[in-house]
């Protein structure tokens, strides 16, 4: 998976007034990636086996299986390459979290939260599952949110270590930016002003 993370600006319905910040990112789909790699390796094994059979058929004079076996071997190796490439470039699951100027928090999984953004103490990257063997998945990290009262919420998982740090920085930047969104006042809200 190729990680994508981006800070976005949120605007009111007029399309010009800034009302908060959000973050869009992608999380890996480890089960789908693993399944694609299993299928790719199966095609590699089939390709190797048929290539050996094609070589044996070519050594046998007058064998009618030479060309079909060679085509099967080449097709299997081609499918291995295509599926392996698809597994490496599998798009991640898109996620979004938004922090609004009035303290509301909205995310693509749970909708609007009951908690307000001023209750957030910190957002940090963490190791979710350690990589014990070299063949284990690289998606070992995630991002968590800690409230002022010590409650912990998992925001993201299935990320590589560097991607989790990037996401934590983007989320902290979004919260900081939202705290400093300039308040827009109108003449109806400011009774002392005369226009």
Q: What is the pLDDT of residues 34-83, one digit of tens each?
A: 899 999 999 999 999 998 888 888 888 877 888 888 889 899 999 999 99
For 117-151, the pLDDT digits (tens) are: 888 889 999 988 887 877 777 888 999 999 998 88
Asked which of 14-23, 105-114, 177-186 is least confident by mean pLDDT, the reply is: 177-186
- Please list the residues that pair with 21 across neighbouring strands: 9, 99
Instruction: Check residue 194 and give its pLDDT.
Output: 36
Mean pLDDT of 165-185: 82
Give the model's confidence band at 188: pLDDT under 50 very low, under 70 low, under 90 confident, else very high. Answer: very low
CB atoms within 10 A of CB 83: 19
All residues at 6 or more sequence positions from 141 whose CB lies less than 8 Å from its CB, including other chains:
125, 126, 127, 128, 157, 159, 160, 161, 163, 164
Q: Widest CA span of the chain, in angstroms? A: 102
Is 144 in contact with 121 (CB distance < 8 Å)? no
What does the CA dihedral 76, 80, 83, 87 come to, rounded to 10 degrees? 160
Instruction: Check residue 171 and give its pLDDT.
Output: 93
Closest by CA to 22, choosing from 36, 34, 8, is: 8
Predicted TM-score (pTM) of this structure: 0.72
User: How many CA within 13 A on the CB side of residue 21?
Assistant: 17
């Amino acid at each position: 998976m190729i990680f994508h993370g981006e800070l976005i600006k949120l605007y009111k319905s007029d399309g010009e007034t800034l009302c908060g910040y959000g973050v869009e990112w992608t999380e890996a789909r480890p089960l789908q990636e693993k399944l694609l790699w299993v299928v790719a390796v199966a095609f590699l094994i089939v390709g190797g086996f048929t290539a050996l059979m094609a070589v044996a058929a070519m050594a046998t004079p007058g064998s009618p299986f030479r060309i079909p076996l060679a085509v099967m071997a080449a097709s299997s190796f081609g499918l291995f390459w295509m599926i392996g490439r698809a597994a490496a470039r599998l798009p991640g699951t898109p996620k979004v979290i938004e922090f609004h100027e009035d303290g509301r928090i909205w995310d693509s999984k749970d909708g609007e939260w009951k908690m307000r953004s001023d209750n957030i103490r910190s957002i940090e990257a963490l190791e979710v599952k350690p990589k014990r063997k070299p063949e284990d998945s690289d998606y070992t990290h995630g991002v968590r949110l800690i409230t002022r009262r010590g409650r912990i919420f998992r925001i993201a998982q299935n990320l590589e270590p560097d991607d989790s740090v990037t996401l934590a920085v983007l989320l902290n930047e979004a919260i900081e930016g939202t705290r400093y969104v300039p308040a827009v006042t109108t003449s109806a809200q400011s009774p002392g002003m005369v226009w």
